Structure 1
Amino acid sequence: MSHKRIPKRKAAIAAGSVAALGAAALLLPNANASQTDPSQGGTPKTFKAADVSDLAAQLASQLGDAFAGSYYNADKQQIVVNVVGDDSNVVNTIRKAGAVPNQVRNSTADLQAAARTLKAKATVPGTAWSVDPKTNEIRVTADSSVTGAKWDKVQSTVNSLGSGVATLKKSAGTFKTFVSGGDAIFAQANGGGVRCSLGFNVTASDGSPAFLTAGHCGVAAKQWSDSQNGQPIATVDQATFPGNGDFSLVKYDDPNTQAPSEVNAGNGQTVQITQAADAVVGQQVFRMGSTTGLHDGSVTGLDATVNFQSETNPGGVDTVTGLIQTNVCAEAGDSGGSLFTQDGSAIGLTSGGSGDCTAGGETFFQPVTTALKATGATLGLGGAGGGGGAGDQSASPGDQSASPGDQSASPGDQSASPGDQSGAGDQGATPGDQSGTGDQSGAGAGGAADPSGSDQSGQAQGGGAADGSSLSGH
């Protein structure tokens, strides 16, 4: 196919009409708690998930070491703030802000120290861990490939941390990167086809149109097309994987490309993306992918570390840190898809995970705020950034909850930028993961790269047909 210029071409790579009706219905406007200010006297206020980030950040600065994380109680629409110690002044400060104080045992420093121990002693392919503020523990997950001496090593390390510090559970599937997701993008690498998904359209620091995608996709191939055998329309500018994230910044080759800040939610619905926000544990989130369409779930952990088995170094490990853990399902081909809230906040890029949309599982995402800060890109009309918050959980306003409008998702967003998929690294690591290898596997982001050139993800290229093999998302 001859090279085609795309003056003013809309940079939204159709995500296909595979949205799940159940989740799509959730995109319709629905009641979302607006902050009310009940009479004083310590009565907890009701908040929108989007409010968590700012309030948590404020309290974190006021409480210092006593602050041990926060999360959103979606059922009661309340913000819960963990606190170490029984200082009445600290408790009163939290109550005065309208939040609910929750006394816990482990401080932020304690959990960080435990995570360092896990990194030093339990970095085994197929493992992952993240901070769960609801339980005030580190959640350690080992996929089905972790057996025998490897399982014993992980289990003994968790036990050595002491009671109430970390929990260990088995995952039925294996951690892999998902090859496509959201709108599909294609590349040729290592003699085979690679397929990833576009995450969110952005503006690069030099003002040129670009998109974010998974880092393992950007490492796998330099040039990307919006059709399987089409001419390249975008070139990788920056890529990180493995290491401190799984994200790529890919610039459109035509400076006149129109790259709308929206996500295609399927069924004719689009969600306008107005800001980037940090994930908050407990918040409702939506994921769009070209294989399984639109699905929703909640954030279950922050600052996750995923150890993928390296495909370039037999027996090696490709570790990715700083990911978001969720219970949103995904399957091969969903990699790189957009994670967002109903009110239009960009949260993450699909990385990898285990499970599928029938049995469930864990899925990891690259935080969008981190990718924006690292690449210098901005989202939408400008606000790049960071979400805010206090830390992990806190999330910036739109973050969490998803307010109705959120959903609107516009196509472009999802479009699958390769990186989006990234996540792989995060995920865990099973060989298929690709992950670690920079997705080099040919598989761009996801799944097992199929050197054959096919979609790699096992998915048929454009579509999303998920490769059962890869990923089992959840």
Structure 2
Amino acid sequence: MAVVGAGITALVAAGVTFQTANASEATTAAPETLSVTAAGKLASTLIGDLGADAAGTYYDAQAKSLVVNVLDERAAQTVEEAGAQARIVENSLADLKSARTTLAEDATIPGTSWATDPTTNKVVVTADRTVSKAELAKLTKVVDGLGAKAELKRTKGEYRPFVAGGDAITGSGGRCSLGFNVTKGGEPYFITAGHCTEAISTWSDSSGNVIGENAASSFPDNDYGLVKYTADVDHPSEV
């Protein structure tokens, strides 16, 4: 079954290589070192304080800091005073929402998906190998019409999500739930929560057998984690 629309944002983000955003870095004091939980709470507070001046957030796992996209210097100052890193970007959340609406209305094509990527400040559109030349031409025209608000990627794989059973998975003393099984490039993966994969990189089943390692992770803005199976275990499409 092909994935269409914005519902499976995790698949889109996992299937593309992101480019550097067209954004400027605010030059001020270094942001505070934050845990994933603390960053999530701060993000919620800042989004409320900034209103329409907030243009997306994400957690920089390497720097252990919260990054907040904003539209002007005043908003950047508010972010920095709160202990986060500010990035002045071009597109507002309203701009990106409008782009997604256009895609839904004009480019809902089987084998495609899209998601708002805060690291690029764009809607990233991905088409898998099942998309025909005619469909790709139509999709390209729509994406080009969105200008700097969107970019188009291709993947050699085929979007074929499966329903997972919600089994418990563990790692590093933590516990989470397997969301659902997917394939990427013909290889088996599963989706789980990003707040889990930010803290845990190797996963085991309920019996303690190692079954997979992280392939991609995003939190707090897009809360998803993609894990690649490393063990020869069954991964049925069951609830």
Q: Normalising to structure 1: TM-score of the pair?
A: 0.36
Structure 1 CA distance for aligned equivalents of residues 186 and 124 of structure 2? 20
Give the partner amino acid of 1:263.
I
Alignment check: 8 A CA contact 2:181 2:235 kept: no
Partner secondary structure for residue 402 of structure 1: coil
Give the partner amino acid of 1:65.
A
Paired residue for 1:165? 149
Partner secondary structure for residue 124 of structure 2: strand
Paired residue for 1:146? 131
Paired residue for 2:88? 103
Q: Which has the larger Rg?
A: 1
Q: 1:160 to 1:67 in 2, by over 3 A?
A: same
Partner secondary structure for residue 73 of structure 2: coil
2:182 equivalent to 1:352:
yes
Alignment check: 8 A CA contact 2:160 2:182 kept: yes
- Give the CA deviation at 1:399: 4.9
**Structure 2, unpaired ranges of 5+:** 1-27, 208-231
Equivalent position to 1:272, from 172, 175, 198: 175
Structure 1 CA distance for aligned equivalents of residues 190 and 204 of structure 2? 21
Q: How many residues align?
A: 188
Higher relative contact order (CA 8 A, sep 6+): 1
Q: 1:60 to 1:264 in 2, by over 3 A?
A: closer
- Give the CA deviation at 1:403: 5.5
Q: Deviations over 1:317-368 (max 9, x none)?
A: xxxxxxxxxxxxxxxxxxxx71xxxxxxxxxx1253531449xxxx78486x
Alignment check: 8 A CA contact 1:131 1:137 kept: yes
Structure 1 CA distance for aligned equivalents of residues 63 and 127 of structure 2? 32
Equivalent position to 2:106, from 118, 121, 133: 121
Structure 2 CA distance for aligned equivalents of residues 364 and 152 of structure 1? 31
Alignment check: 8 A CA contact 1:95 1:101 kept: yes
Give the partner amino acid of 1:112.
K
Equivalent position to 1:198, from 155, 158, 165: 165
**Structure 1, unpaired ranges of 5+:** 1-40, 179-195, 201-261, 274-336, 339-348, 368-394, 413-461
Structure 2 CA distance for aligned equivalents of residues 114 and 364 of structure 1? 28
Q: 1:353 to 1:160 in 2, by over 3 A?
A: farther
Give the partner amino acid of 1:51.
A
Alignment check: 8 A CA contact 1:50 1:402 kept: no
Equivalent position to 1:63, from 36, 43, 50: 50
Aligned CA RMSD, in angstroms, stands at: 3.3
Alignment check: 8 A CA contact 2:56 2:68 kept: yes
Give the partner amino acid of 1:411.
S
Alignment check: 8 A CA contact 1:174 1:355 kept: yes
Alignment check: 8 A CA contact 1:131 1:138 kept: yes
Structure 2 CA distance for aligned equivalents of residues 400 and 463 of structure 1? 20
Q: 1:172 to 1:159 in 2, by over 3 A?
A: same
Structure 1 CA distance for aligned equivalents of residues 30 and 86 of structure 2? 11
Give the % identical residues: 32
- Give the CA deviation at 1:401: 2.3
Alignment check: 8 A CA contact 2:100 2:123 kept: yes
Partner secondary structure for residue 198 of structure 1: coil
Paired residue for 2:229? none
Structure 2 CA distance for aligned equivalents of residues 465 and 408 of structure 1? 14
Partner secondary structure for residue 66 of structure 2: strand
Partner secondary structure for residue 125 of structure 1: coil
Q: Normalising to structure 2: TM-score of the pair?
A: 0.67
Q: 1:43 to 1:170 in 2, by over 3 A?
A: closer
Q: 1:463 to 1:95 in 2, by over 3 A?
A: closer
Alignment check: 8 A CA contact 1:71 1:134 kept: yes
Partner secondary structure for residue 96 of structure 2: helix
Structure 2 CA distance for aligned equivalents of residues 49 and 83 of structure 1? 20
Structure 2 CA distance for aligned equivalents of residues 55 and 122 of structure 1? 35
Q: 1:400 to 1:78 in 2, by over 3 A?
A: farther
Q: 1:464 to 1:364 in 2, by over 3 A?
A: closer
- Give the CA deviation at 1:61: 0.3
Partner secondary structure for residue 109 of structure 2: coil
Equivalent position to 1:411, from 196, 200, 206: 206
